[in-house]
């Protein structure tokens, strides 16, 4: 917004053929000089509009389903929802609430529409007398890993479903903590590389025409 536009006049006064990197840099400088406020306002409006639309009843289910299939972010959201589901359901069941009713209440605490719908359907299935582990084995519950289903099945056989749910909650909360640490570890080198590329591009764009000018003067 401030530094690059100052370079426009300097490079234009050189009267030499500028390298591609410099021309790109000058185009960016021109754009921000002439339309900077408009560009920033557009970015803010588009971002705000997208966030608003992604939370509407029409688009939220599709967006939430898409998020679960994204690399890294999808895994992060999935284990977060699994940890929340098992923690809340385990506490409600242990407090003496009927398991079907516990599923209905737990569903309201899940922000991802795919998990919310699955847990609501799970509560309806339990009301019909079906086992929790058997229902979770159905294809429509693909967001629930097999380890989750197997441990819940053990809890049903021993009469300790609440213990199984709370054990799974501890397991997924620990996995969520590890995923957060791994994400931070991955972001640090990615940010360094990204910043290095930007700085290298700007340096190349500024220095190249100066070298060309000095070379033409020597000739």
pLDDT of residue 105: 94
Report the residue count for the chain.
219
Phi, psi at residue 57, to the nearest 5°?
-65, -25
Cα–Cα distances (Å) from 24 to 13, 85, 204, 206, in that order, read 17, 50, 11, 11
pLDDT of residue 169: 95
Cα–Cα distances (Å) from 187 to 172, 179, 182, in that order, read 22, 12, 9
**Intervals of the chain under pLDDT 50:** none
In angstroms, the first-to-last Cα distance of the chain is 36
For residues 179 and 173, give the distance between their C-alpha atoms in angstroms, rounded to a whole number. 10
Q: For Cα atoms 184, 194, 200, give the angle at the middle one, nearest 5 degrees.
A: 150
pLDDT of residue 16: 66
Cβ atoms of 18 and 209 closer than 8 Å? yes
pLDDT of residue 184: 81
pLDDT of residue 19: 78
Phi, psi at residue 124, to the nearest 5°?
-65, -40
For residues 84 and 102, give the distance between their C-alpha atoms in angstroms, rounded to a whole number. 13
pLDDT digits (tens, 9 = 90+) for 151-181: 999 999 998 999 999 999 999 999 999 988 8
pLDDT of residue 155: 92
């Amino acid at each position: 917004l401030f530094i690059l536009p100052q370079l426009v006049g300097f490079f234009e006064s050189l009267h030499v053929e500028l390298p591609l990197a410099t021309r790109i840099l000058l185009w960016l400088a021109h754009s921000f000089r002439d339309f900077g406020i408009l560009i920033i306002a557009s970015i803010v409006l588009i971002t705000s509009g997208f966030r608003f639309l992604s939370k509407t009843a029409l688009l939220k289910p599709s967006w939430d389903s898409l998020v679960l299939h994204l690399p890294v972010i999808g895994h992060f959201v999935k284990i977060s929802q699994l940890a929340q589901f098992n923690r809340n359901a385990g506490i409600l069941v242990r407090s003496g609430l009927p398991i079907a009713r516990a599923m209905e209440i737990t569903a309201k605490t899940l922000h991802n529409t795919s998990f919310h719908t699955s847990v609501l359907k799970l509560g309806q299935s339990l009301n019909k007398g079906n086992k929790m582990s058997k229902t979770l084995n159905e294809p429509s519950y693909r967001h629930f890993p097999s380890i989750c289903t197997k441990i819940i099945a053990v809890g049903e056989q021993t009469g300790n479903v609440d213990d199984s749910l709370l054990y799974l909650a501890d397991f997924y909360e620990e996995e969520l903590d590890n995923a957060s640490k791994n994400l931070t570890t991955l972001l640090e080198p990615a940010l360094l590389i990204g910043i290095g590329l930007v700085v290298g591009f700007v340096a190349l764009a500024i220095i190249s025409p100066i070298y060309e000018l000095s070379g033409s003067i020597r000739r």
